Structure 1
Amino acid sequence: MKPLVVIPARGGSKGVPRKNIKELGGKPLIYYTIEAAREVFDDDVICVSTDDKEIKEVVEQTGLEVPFLRPEKFATDTAGTRGVLLHALKFYKEEMDYKADTIILLQPTSPFRTAQHINEALEKYHFGLDRVVSVKETDANPYFVLFEENEEGFLKKSKEGSFKRRQDCPKVWELNGAIYIINVNSLKNEEVSEFRRVKKYVMDEVSSIDIDSELDWKIACSIYYNIIISRNIDSK
């Protein structure tokens, strides 16, 4: 495997302004992802893709070089992740003479994803897949609690089933945004939404926290001070 780890960190954020470098537990949010990545990969294959000079400066305080500032067209609210990844791949091929065959996408909004999680997800990946994605079991089961509105304005179950209890429903998995291991050939040839050879890597609810809103931020702070610190103390 020739990996390229991409940590996307756009400067704009509507839910939590400047969240990628906002301090959680005394350090910028993005540091958690950088530290986890560095436990698994060498610095020369870890790419923080950002359009923001301040984020670049904060990241480089860790000693990790940020090789470029992402072009504006890949940093808008509507820019897709695929374009960001293809841009990073092209840069490393043309400027670094490094042709990656696997992307490991680690979003900085998942601070409790660890090196162990990354390694376990990597164990599930092989080149016969389009990607491996990290998931958690969802509480919002479409067989039981999710509904759609039909043409007459009435609610109907999102997925039909004659289950009397939620516990009897098939398990349904929700992407948690923490880890994506992507086959570069697949990425180049088709949209991510068209991938069919996809395997899951299951994570627990706490480790799956993904910060997208102020409420998510408050939950993450609570988890950090009430769970993560206790775990670290107990492990010593």
Structure 2
Amino acid sequence: MKTLIIIPARGGSKGIPGKNIRPFAGKPLILHTLELARQFGADKDICITTDSPEIAALVDSAGYKVPFLRPETLATDQSGMYEVLLHALKHYQESGSDYESILLLQPTSPFRLPEHIETAFALFTPSADMVVSVKESKANPYFVLFEENSEGYLEKSKQGNFIRRQDCPPVWEYNGAIYVINIQSLQQSPMHVFKKVIKFVMDELHSVDLDTPLDWDYAEFLNEKYHLLPL
């Protein structure tokens, strides 16, 4: 299966300004993901899609040449990942490269391991729309999640007669680390409407996603405590 590895790295970030080039565990955050991607594909099959000349210059220092700079219309807070992926895929298709799947690796998952990607690939089949990494959610809609009804009162998000959280059916949340996407499916519809999605369960420690300054501080603490990445 021929796979295009896509690493999205927008220059602007309100949650953690400059996060993709900010040092984490001794090197800019995005380089952790680039080094991991290189274990699964040659540079010609890796697409860092960015709008930032600064990010482009940084990865150039690591010997990687960005194939294009993403247009500003695909680099705003409102830009969707679906459009970003299609834009990158179109560039490679117009260059004569043909792929069957996309491996989407976001730089904000620094503790993702090669064996996680290998397992996700092993779960993928041509009949699936996507394999996605998840973690078990502590916020269970049968137990601790509520919605406000038309009368202004809270009621359970999902009905069920469960006394203990442990008795509730497990629920899963995307952890943002790994997406193995069927390109035929992507060309037909966005990921959020996929019907044939296979989960790959990751533990909470390796599921850390950097979205806020508190996330960053927590990840640095975890790395110092558990030596997840070399310092």
TM more than 0.5: yes
The answer on whether the counterparts of 2:3 and 2:100 sit within 8 Å (CA) in structure 1 is yes
Q: In structure 1, what is the equivalent of residue 99 of structure 2?
A: 100
CA drift of 1:61 comes to 1.5
- Matched position secondary structure for 1:98: coil
Provide the TM-score with structure 1 as the length reference.
Answer: 0.95
Aligned structure 1 segments of 4 or more residues deviating by more than 6 angstroms: none
Measured against aligned partners, the alpha-carbon deviations of 1:102-122 in whole angstroms (never above 9, x if no partner) come to 011000000000111111100
The answer on whether the counterparts of 1:32 and 1:112 sit within 8 Å (CA) in structure 2 is no
Q: In structure 2, what is the equivalent of residue 137 of structure 1?
A: 136
AA aligned to 1:31 is: L
Unaligned runs of 5+ residues in structure 2 are none
Q: After TM superposition, list the pairs within 5 Å mapping 1:86-235 onto structure 2.
A: 86-95=86-95, 97-229=96-228
Q: Check if 1:17 corresponds to 2:11.
A: no
Distance of 2:176 and 2:142 partners within structure 1: 23
Measured against aligned partners, the alpha-carbon deviations of 1:138-186 in whole angstroms (never above 9, x if no partner) come to 1111111111111111010111111111111111111000001111111
Provide the TM-score with structure 2 as the length reference.
Answer: 0.97
AA aligned to 1:145 is: V
Distance of 2:79 and 2:178 partners within structure 1: 20
The answer on whether the counterparts of 2:25 and 2:230 sit within 8 Å (CA) in structure 1 is no
RMSD: 1.3
- Matched position secondary structure for 2:33: helix
The answer on whether the counterparts of 1:6 and 1:106 sit within 8 Å (CA) in structure 2 is yes
Unaligned runs of 5+ residues in structure 1 are none
Measured against aligned partners, the alpha-carbon deviations of 1:55-101 in whole angstroms (never above 9, x if no partner) come to 01111211122111001111111111011111111111113x10111
The answer on whether the counterparts of 1:105 and 1:180 sit within 8 Å (CA) in structure 2 is yes
Q: What percent of counterpart residues are identical?
A: 54
- Matched position secondary structure for 1:144: coil
Distance of 1:204 and 1:65 partners within structure 2: 33
- Matched position secondary structure for 1:108: coil
CA drift of 1:232 comes to 6.4
Distance of 1:65 and 1:117 partners within structure 2: 26
AA aligned to 1:6 is: I
- Matched position secondary structure for 2:91: helix
